[in-house]
């Protein structure tokens, strides 16, 4: 029995037919849609490498059944930039060396984007680390990650104020 759903992925409306209602969002993104920036780490929701934004909120895509997301707006690492212009988080991660092996970087960036959108971070490094604790970096780039989140958040707030004026 197949199931048809609609998802908006990185700004593009997609009609998806699921032959198996148990397919995870992670597997759909990587295996069917060739959006391989989202990484499959632990496949149990513990490492955060598969973090994407669903309706603007952070979600471990390895735990999300695609069938339950009909009508959702999904943003992956591939959809964060604006064409050739990197998102402030992507630029800040580069500037602060917030990645080492790079495997966890997409999930870290997506988690940080959600964190900033949820307006929970503030500028407190300890709070940022706590709120990002669901994303594990085995290489230990946490200092650079925290600094990147702080910088990007400041830039995004300044940009929003400028746009509002």
Domain boundaries, the chain: 3-79, 88-164
Neighbours of 4 (CB within 10 A): 9
- Contact (Cβ atoms closer than 8 angstroms) between residue 107 and residue 39: yes
First to last CA, the chain: 53
- Contact (Cβ atoms closer than 8 angstroms) between residue 54 and residue 64: yes
- The model's pTM is 0.85
pLDDT digits (tens, 9 = 90+) for 9-29: 999 999 999 999 999 999 999
Residues 6+ apart with CB under 8 A from 24: 61, 62, 63, 64, 65, 66
The CATH architecture one would assign to domain 88-164 is Orthogonal Bundle (1.10)
The CATH architecture one would assign to domain 3-79 is Roll (3.10)
Torsions phi, psi of 3, nearest 5?
A: -130, 130
Q: How confident is the model at residue 39 (pLDDT cuts 50, 70, 90)?
A: very high
Which of the two residues, 16 and 155, has the higher pLDDT score?
16
pLDDT digits (tens, 9 = 90+) for 124-145: 888 888 888 888 777 777 788 8
């Amino acid at each position: 029995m197949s199931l048809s759903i609609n998802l908006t992925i990185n700004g593009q409306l997609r009609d998806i037919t699921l032959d198996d209602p148990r397919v995870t969002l992670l597997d759909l993104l990587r295996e069917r849609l060739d959006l391989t920036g989202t990484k499959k780490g632990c496949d149990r929701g513990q490492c955060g490498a598969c973090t994407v934004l669903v309706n603007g909120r952070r979600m471990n895509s390895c735990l999300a059944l695609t069938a339950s997301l009909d009508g959702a707006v999904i943003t992956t690492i591939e959809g964060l930039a604006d064409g050739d212009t990197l998102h402030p988080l992507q630029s800040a991660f580069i500037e602060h060396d917030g990645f080492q092996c790079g495997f966890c970087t997409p999930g870290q960036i997506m988690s940080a984007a959600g964190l900033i959108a949820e307006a929970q971070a503030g500028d407190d490094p300890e709070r940022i680390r706590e709120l990002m604790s669901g994303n594990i970096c085995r290489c230990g780039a946490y200092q650079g990650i925290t600094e990147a989140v702080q910088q990007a958040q400041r830039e995004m707030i300044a940009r929003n104020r400028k746009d509002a004026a």
